Structure 1
Amino acid sequence: MKSLGSIRRSFSPWTDPEAKPFIAFKNVTKRFGDFTAVDNLSLDIYTREFFALLGASGCGKSTLLRMLAGFEQPTSGDIVLDGQSLKGIPPYRRPVNMMFQSYALFPHMSVEANIAFGLKQDGMPKPEIAERVAQMLKLVKLEKFAARRPHQLSGGQRQRVALARSLAKRPKVLLLDEPLGALDKKLREETQFELMDLQQDLGLTFIIVTHDQEEAMTMADRIAVMSHGKVVQVATPAEIYEAPNSRFVADFIGDVNIFEGESTDIAGGRLTVKTPAGMVIEVPSSRPPAVGQPGVIAVRPEKIRVTREAPAGAPVNAAKGEIWDIGYLGDMTVFHVRLADGRTVKASSLNAVRAVEDPLGYDQEVWISFDADAGVILRD
Structure 2
Amino acid sequence: MKSLGSIRRSFEPWNDPGQRPYIAFENISKLFGDFVAVKDLTLHVFQKEFFALLGGSGCGKSTLLRMLAGFENPTNGQILLDGQDLSGVPPYKRPVNMMFQSYALFPHMSVEKNIAFGLKQDGMAKSEIEDRVNNMLKLVKLDQFGKRKPHQLSGGQRQRVALARSIAKRPKVLLLDEPLGALDKKLREETQFELMDLQQELGLTFVVVTHDQEEAMTMADRIAVMDLGRIVQIGTPAETYEAPNSEFVASFIGDINLFRGEVTGANGSVIDIETTDGMHIRSDSTVAMKPGQKASFAIRPEKLRVSRTRPESGINAVSGEVWDIGYLGDMTVFHIKLKNEEIVKASVLNAVRTVEDPIGYDEEIWVCFNADGGVVLSG
TM-score scaled by structure 1? Answer: 0.98
Looking at structure 2, the residues matched to 368 and 308 of structure 1 have their Cα atoms a distance apart, in angstroms, of 9
Q: Deviations over 1:288-337 (max 9, x none)?
A: 311111111101110010101012321x1001111011011111110011
Residue of structure 1 equivalent to 2:142: 142
Looking at structure 1, the residues matched to 150 and 117 of structure 2 have their Cα atoms a distance apart, in angstroms, of 14
Residue of structure 1 equivalent to 2:132: 132
Note the C-alpha offset of 1:268: 4.8
Residue of structure 2 equivalent to 1:53: 53
The AA in structure 2 aligned to 1:224 is A
Note the C-alpha offset of 1:6: 6.0
Note the C-alpha offset of 1:379: 3.2
Partner SS state of residue 254, structure 1: coil
Residue of structure 2 equivalent to 1:364: 363
Residue of structure 2 equivalent to 1:350: 349
Residue of structure 1 equivalent to 2:203: 203
Note the C-alpha offset of 1:35: 0.5
Does the 8 Å CA contact 1:5/1:236 hold for their aligned counterparts?
no
Specify whether residues 93 and 289 from structure 1 end up closer, same or farther in structure 2 by C-alpha distance, changes over 3 A only: same
Note the C-alpha offset of 1:224: 0.3
1:245-264 mapped onto 2 (5 Å cutoff): 245-264=245-264
Partner SS state of residue 306, structure 2: strand
Partner SS state of residue 244, structure 1: coil
Compare 241-250 and 347-356 and name the one that shifted more: 347-356
Does the 8 Å CA contact 1:280/1:317 hold for their aligned counterparts?
yes
Does the 8 Å CA contact 1:24/1:43 hold for their aligned counterparts?
yes
1:1-380 mapped onto 2 (5 Å cutoff): 3-4=3-4, 7-314=7-314, 316-379=315-378
Looking at structure 1, the residues matched to 106 and 277 of structure 2 have their Cα atoms a distance apart, in angstroms, of 62
Looking at structure 2, the residues matched to 277 and 7 of structure 1 have their Cα atoms a distance apart, in angstroms, of 37
Specify whether residues 133 and 189 from structure 1 end up closer, same or farther in structure 2 by C-alpha distance, changes over 3 A only: same
Does the 8 Å CA contact 1:6/1:221 hold for their aligned counterparts?
no
Looking at structure 1, the residues matched to 81 and 105 of structure 2 have their Cα atoms a distance apart, in angstroms, of 28
The AA in structure 1 aligned to 2:339 is A
Specify whether residues 3 and 182 from structure 1 end up closer, same or farther in structure 2 by C-alpha distance, changes over 3 A only: closer
Looking at structure 1, the residues matched to 60 and 175 of structure 2 have their Cα atoms a distance apart, in angstroms, of 15
Partner SS state of residue 378, structure 2: coil
Looking at structure 2, the residues matched to 77 and 239 of structure 1 have their Cα atoms a distance apart, in angstroms, of 29
Note the C-alpha offset of 1:17: 1.0
Note the C-alpha offset of 1:287: 3.0
The AA in structure 2 aligned to 1:375 is G
Partner SS state of residue 378, structure 1: strand
Gaps of 5+ in 1: none
Specify whether residues 6 and 44 from structure 1 end up closer, same or farther in structure 2 by C-alpha distance, changes over 3 A only: farther
Does the 8 Å CA contact 1:270/1:283 hold for their aligned counterparts?
yes
Q: Deviations over 1:20-56 (max 9, x none)?
A: 1000000000000010101110000000000000000
Q: Deviations over 1:240-280 (max 9, x none)?
A: 00000001000000010111111001125200000123210
Compare 107-116 and 266-275 and name the one that shifted more: 266-275
Partner SS state of residue 372, structure 1: coil
Specify whether residues 229 and 188 from structure 1 end up closer, same or farther in structure 2 by C-alpha distance, changes over 3 A only: same
TM-score scaled by structure 2? Answer: 0.98
Note the C-alpha offset of 1:2: 5.3
Specify whether residues 176 and 286 from structure 1 end up closer, same or farther in structure 2 by C-alpha distance, changes over 3 A only: closer
Does the 8 Å CA contact 1:250/1:298 hold for their aligned counterparts?
yes
Note the C-alpha offset of 1:357: 1.5
Partner SS state of residue 161, structure 1: helix
Partner SS state of residue 320, structure 2: strand
The AA in structure 2 aligned to 1:176 is L
